[in-house]
Amino acid sequence: MISNTYLDHNATTALHPQVAEKMAQWLQTTGPANASSLHQHGRDARKQLDDARDQLSSLFDVEASEFHFTSGGTESNNLALTGLAPIDAPLFVGTTEHPSVLEPARQQWQQGRAGGLLEVDRSGRICDFEVTEGALYSIQWVNNETGISQDIPQLARHIHDGGARLHIDGAQGFFRLPQSIPELSVDAATITAHKSFGPVGVGALWIRKGLLIEPLLRGGPQEKKIRPGTENLLAITGFGELARVAHSTPLWDVAALRLAREALVTPLQQVPDCRIVPHQEDDWPGCVHVGFRGVHAETLLVRLDMAGISASSGSACSSGAREPSHVLAAMGIDIDWIRSSIRLSLGPVERTAENSIEQLSKVGSQLAAIVAQLRQRNFKTPPGG
């Protein structure tokens, strides 16, 4: 039996050792600190906030003052959709977006805001669309279920040429793919820490200087009143350390991930009636979305868990709803395939033995064997039995 193999890194990742060390040091050496206080403790806390902002600025090559700390990707996405354009400006989002974009967008449309969904083709890429002047567009950079990546610079040019603004959900892209924010040419970007070895419960919304924003919350002066409330200084310290580490050493070895993906996928390609969501060169290689016709995803996940393999059926924020994946449906995939599909998201090959080439090859073979067992059991089950 394969044991303790975690293949759900698109849901969350373990803390990077240097980030964990920095946060532990903060707990041991820092006294009570509120960055809004004027005394020495408060000034020390303010410096920690400024240092973290500077580290993000250095990594992503934009001004530190343009980062606004939040509780994570969901809050950043909601904040962007609420405040980056007047409420009477149309709002357009992709059909394969994360629920933290789709749900607030649907609420705003129900309340009378104009706009709608941007369709994707069968490869998961956003189709050609006509830009509405003055509108706000929100597009996910890397999809959390499939790893499919949108060509953000090209989309940004198209949207800006039409006189509109672009926000991207970069939760699965930043810290993984190498582009800086200027290279992406967007107006605002959601960034989160825990998808790439940072702490849970902290993120940022980067907003291009000069763009007005309406806050979600009202309260104190924190984060220029865009995100009021006492800052989570421990998590922000870890977030800043993550940026510092990433600036000197890439957090992910993409070439090694491609080899690891191949090791996992090769045994699965021998399984009859197996469908693997295809990838292109620029897609995130650490994600495998695979379906096995006639096998229910929930049953398969339980069997994998019993075998010591942790996987998921899609977004960790919505998988408990047991609804068919809206991402795969938008790509035109048949409902029977959708109900049989699971997501395997890989970790850093060079740092975790459980994600080694050899181990992932074994996982692929184990998964193929489990599928065969489930199909054999289903075949033997009499009608109504």
3-state secondary structure (DSSP) of residue 207: strand
Domains (range + CATH), the chain = 5-12+252-380 (3.90.1150.10), 17-248 (3.40.640.10)
The closest of 224, 214, 229, 200 to 78, measured between CA atoms, is 214
Q: How many CA atoms are closer than 13 Å to the CA of 122, on its beta-carbon side?
A: 5
The pLDDT tens digits for 42-92 are 788 889 999 999 999 999 999 999 999 999 999 999 999 998 998 899 999
Angle between helices 233-248 and 17-29 (to 10 degrees): 140
Structure tokens at 296: 């229910």
CA 235 to each of CA 38, 242, 316: distance values in angstroms, whole numbers, following the listed order: 22, 10, 21
Q: How many CA atoms are closer than 13 Å to the CA of 18, on its beta-carbon side?
A: 12
Distance, in Å, from the CA atom of 54 to the CA atom of 275, rounded to the nearest integer, reads 44
Distance, in Å, from the CA atom of 172 to the CA atom of 101, rounded to the nearest integer, reads 14
Distance, in Å, from the CA atom of 258 to the CA atom of 305, rounded to the nearest integer, reads 24
Is 317 tagged catalytic? yes
Q: DSSP letters along 297-325, please?
A: HHHHHHHHHHTTEE-BSS-TTTGGG-PPP
Q: Count Cβ atoms below 10 Å from residue 381 Cβ, excluding itself.
A: 9
pLDDT of 95 above 90: yes
Quote the pLDDT of residue 280.
94
Contact 270, 368 (CB under 8 A): yes
The pLDDT tens digits for 130-179 are 999 999 999 999 999 999 999 999 999 999 999 999 999 999 999 999 99
Q: What is the pTM of this model?
A: 0.92
Write down the catalytic residue from 127, 274, 287, 317. 317
| Percent of the chain at pLDDT exceeding 70 | 94
